[in-house]
Amino acid sequence: MEENQVPASPEPSRRAEKEAQTYSVPWSIGDTWIGVVLLVLVSAGMVTVMLLGLKKEYLQNIGVLFLELVYILPVALIFAWRRIHWKHLGFGKFTINVMGLGCGLLIGGYAIIIVHNALLSIFHIGTQGDQIMGVFKKLQSPVWLFLVGAVIAPLVEEIFFRGFLFQGFRQKYGWLPALLLSSAIFAAAHLDPVAFIPTFVLGCVLAYVYHRSNSVWPGIIFHAAINSFSLCAVYIISQYPGIIPS
């Protein structure tokens, strides 16, 4: 007598299909990966600028603004091609509860980052803060760097990495794989191996905040606050090295 075969449960596939419908966006997963390819090309251009030794010149004039705005180019090209309205990136309202959630996650995230930086110090490896401090010491004026870091970068990067990339991956792979994948690309795009883990952690927090709110605004606010605080702290230390006891 043959044993009764238990049919495979359709629940996982139904769940994935329901999630895809819930988080549907008007661009395909193919468009999303095209955006990644375009990002790689943009990043290659950034590497070329650094190899040519032009980074310092760009960081103290309007050129740094151009270098950051090019990150919006993949979205602009794909949206123009598909005739997609920018509202689909998530410029809607959000609740104050999401901001509380984000603050809690950032506290946990910074605990990981502190441990990471402590390990780098043990092995005498410079942190991202050390690198930024070196940049400040070379610049005649940090105005453009502050403007881009505190205002333009949070806006541009949240639009691309969370509004476009995370959403595009989420509708195909689900929110958790999309969070991990978009955050890894976010970290890699900063072209700084030492800062990969801190940037990845930050990307995970911002992606989850986007997932809970479906709005880019909380991420932009958190991103701007983090960059502003970091830049101000590093700038003060670079100008007044004796402020921290050795």
At 195-227, the pLDDT tens digits run 999 999 999 999 999 999 999 999 999 999 999
Map tokens 């942190």 to a residue: 127
For residue 190, give both structure tokens: 């900063």
- The predicted pLDDT at position 1 comes to 44
- What does 98-125 look like in DSSP terms, one character per residue? HHHHHHHHHHHHHHHHHHHHHHHHHTT-
Q: What is the pLDDT of residue 13?
A: 56
Alpha helices in 123-174 (DSSP H): 128-138, 143-147, 153-157, 167-173
Could you tell me the pTM of the whole model? 0.84
pLDDT at 77: 95
Of 83-97, 111-125, 231-245, the one with minimum mean pLDDT is: 231-245
Nearest to 71 by CA among 168, 163, 195: 163
Which of 164, 181, 176 has its CA nearest to residue 216? Answer: 164
pLDDT tens per residue across span 81-101: 999 999 999 999 999 999 999
